[in-house]
Structure formats: structure tokens, C-alpha cells
Chains A and B, each alone.
Chain A
Amino acid sequence: MSIAEVRHLVKKYPSFTLSDASFSVSAGRIMGFIGRNGAGKTTTIKSMFNLIHPDSGEIDYFGMPLIGNEEEIKKRIGYSTGTVNWYPRKKIRDIVSIVSRFYDTWDESAYRKYLELFELNESKAPVELSEGMKVKFNLLLALSHRAEVLILDEPTSGLDPFSRNELLDIFTGLKKEGVAVFFSTHIISDIEKCADDIVYISKGKIVSAMSKADFTGQFSEEGESLEETMLRMERGDLNA
């Protein structure tokens, strides 16, 4: 079942154009959104949050258009924006006490579980956290309100290999509960480890949006790893 659908998204900037981006995120699947820096990942994700205005295209969640149903849709989405610093001088405890009020589905036990797992100290302020711990704090907020879909911008950037591994295991656990996970990354091994589907974007264009098995079947050469395939494709040899 499609939980989030992006159709023919176009966003033009003076020096960059996101052109005709379309893909669909399904329940109980992990979708990796991969592309090099500046490929259009953040533009796409920002459009998916209605933070920027596409020139054309539609974005639906749960069968409803985002525009006009933003309030209801956002309650059912978990989001994380990498290492962005929210209220750097406020204590985590104070930030959470406010954020939790906005979600009637706030799950205090899930919050405590991830707080412990991520080894975050509620008495600390974001400014006192390392880059990796900031990512974990943003993820903590995303994971604590029983979201049906997680949209995560670079959730593994800045994380040490152990934490990255733990996080990818969390994704797999959530997937089993029927949660859809859509995450952007430029670390191909993250996709290799846990993604069911791949959306590959290059220079503002979606090169492919399909299952990982179909992707390797279509683009990989004999004996080639996913990383090698993508590096070759990024060099301009699509082999399609």
C-alpha cells in the first residue's frame, strides 16, 4: 500500500532544477534515497514537508494531498533533518516537553526506550552534543510518536559505524511493524544493508525508482557491488 506518493515534482532554481521527480513509498518497506551532494535530495524532501513550493507536481500521503491536509498528515509522519540544531541552548527535556504536546500519539515508553538506546542525556542542550548525537536527538523526536512513515534527511551522516548499524537495525524493526521508512543518504552501504527500494537521483533527475533487486538486475554488471554500480552510473555510464 502506498503511504506517500510524489508525482511529477518540478522545482526550478536559477542554477538547479529538480525535474519531474516521481516515486512512491510503501508501508512496511524501507526506501533509500541516494544521490551525491547537490543532486536534489534535500529539495525533494523539503517539498515533501511543504517547506518549499514546487513549481508543479503533487505530493500525497495516505491518499490525501499534502496541501490542505498538512496538520493531519504531519501528525502521522516522523521527520528528522540530520544535524540541524533546534533551540541549541534549551535542554532536551524542555524541547521534548513542548514537542510531545503536539502529538496525541506521543509514546512515552518509546521515547524512554530510544533515549536510553541513543544514550542521550535529557539535561543536556543540543549545543553540548556532538554532530552524531544531534542526529540521534532529531531521530528521537521522529521515533517517539508512532509515526506511520519516517522521512529522514541524511539520518546516518555523522554517526559512528556502531550507531549507524544500530539505526539501520531500528529501521528494520520498524519495517516489521508496518512503518514505511524513507531516508536520504550518500552512503551506499546503508542502502545495501537495509533498503528494499532505491530512488536514485542525479543532477536533479530521478534516474530510477524501483526495488533493490530490480535495480541491481537492471543496472549492475556481473559481480559488481551496488556501490560500484552507482559509482559507474554517476560517472555517466548508465549501462541501461
Chain B
Amino acid sequence: MRNIMLKEMKLSASPLAFLFIAFGLMFFIPGYPILCGVFFVTLGLFHSFQTAREANDIVFSALLPIAKNDVVKGKYCFVCFIEGCALILMTAATVIRMTVLSDAPVYRTNALMTANLFALGMAFFIFGLFNLIFVGGFFRTAYKQGRPFVIYIIIAFLMITVAEALHHVPGLGQLNAFGTEHIALQAVLLAAGILAFAVITLLSYRKACRDFDRIDL
């Protein structure tokens, strides 16, 4: 597995995939839909899939002495690695905003969602959607990327819009908790996001293995 990950990082990946991890720091931007940071990270991954396709990466990988499932596993591991790096930045930004910057007026007057555990849970969830819709969709043909990415964009921005605006719905104000307010609810929402990410990614990976095994390269 180490070898296939090295291949993903050194041969298949576009530098943009690594560079766009920095969009995780958008969780610091006040008055901006911070979940767009998740989308930009996945945009880097999309570009990486495009450059890999131009380099005949999938056929090259399938010819290596590894099981066909490992080709799929390599891609999912790489995607999860990039998402994990971005999530580390998002978590760091969230922790700073929930502690030392919890009373900063610039964040308190923010009409959009604040960076808290719910936002982090939503980031996990949207990354899970990317893995399900785009990565899983790609492995149905190991070639076509446009359609799954467009579907992902539509659903991701729908989710971002809902998440950013949800706390304005009467009764849901607790979602926009500052600092350690409603921490139990926040922790549950984060756990739900992580669980959704794990389950969605695992299901998508299993289906991608089945699809990839069926197609002709």
C-alpha cells in the first residue's frame, strides 16, 4: 500500500491538489461561507484526477503487480489524505476561533455560519459527498469526470447553502454556537459528520471496486 500511495503522490497527483489544501484556512475568513473551503480543496483533487487521466495513470496502475482493487484503494487513500490534511487545518482554525477568538467582534457579527464543531462536521460530510459522487462516479468508467463533478458541485453547493443558513431557521440558532456554547450538541453534530464521512466513503469505495472490476480499460 505504501508503494501505491507513493505512486499517487509522486506520479499521479497534480501539485494543485497539495496547494489547495491551504483552502482549509478559509475557516478563518469572517463574513464568508467558510464551507466553500471544502469545495476548493475538492477542486484541487478534481484537477489531480484530470492530470492523472492525461497521463494514462489508471491503465499504468492496472498494469502494475497489484490487485485491481488496490488501484481503487490508492485513489481513495490519496483523496482521503488530502481531505485529512485540509481537515487538520480546518480543525486548527475552528479550535482557535472557538477559544482565543471566540469573542472577536468580526466573527460575532457574522451573518453566515461560524467555525464550530457543526461546521467541521459539515466539512466531513461534504468531503464524504465528494468521495461518493465524484470519486465513486469516476470509477464507473475510469474515464468520465465531467458528469460526476457537475453533480457533486450542485449537491455540494446546495449543502453549503443549507448549512450556512440553517441557524437562521427559528429553533436552530444553537447550530451557530460560539466558543463552548452547546458543546454537547456541537460534539454530537461533529461525530455525526465524521460517521457520515466514514460510512459514505466506505460504501463508495466498495462500489468503486466492483465497478472498476467490471469495466474494460
Contact = CB atoms under 8 A, between A and B. Distances in A.
Please say whether chains A and B are actual partners in one complex: yes
Interface of A: 46, 49-53, 70-75, 79, 81, 84-90, 94-95, 97-99, 101-103
Contacts of A72: 65
Contact of B217 (A51, A90, A103): A51
B68 to A, nearest CB: 7
B64 interface: yes
Nearest to B213: A53
Interface in B55-98: 55-57, 59-60, 62-68
Interface of B: 3, 6-7, 10-11, 54-57, 59-60, 62-68, 214, 216-217
Contact of B56 (A53, A84, A97): A84
B62 A51 contact: yes
Given A71-B66, A87-B55, A101-B6, 18 more contacts: A46-B217, A50-B62, A51-B62, A51-B63, A51-B217, A53-B216, A70-B65, A70-B68, A73-B65, A74-B63, A75-B65, A79-B63, A81-B63, A85-B55, A86-B55, A87-B56, A94-B11, A101-B3
A98 B6 contact: yes
Contact of A94 (B10, B56, B65, B68): B10
A87 B216 contact: no
B76 to A, nearest CB: 18
A84 B58 CA distance: 13
B68 A86 contact: no
Nearest to B51: A89
Contacts of B57: 86-87
Given A53-B216, A98-B7, A101-B3, A86 B67 contact: no
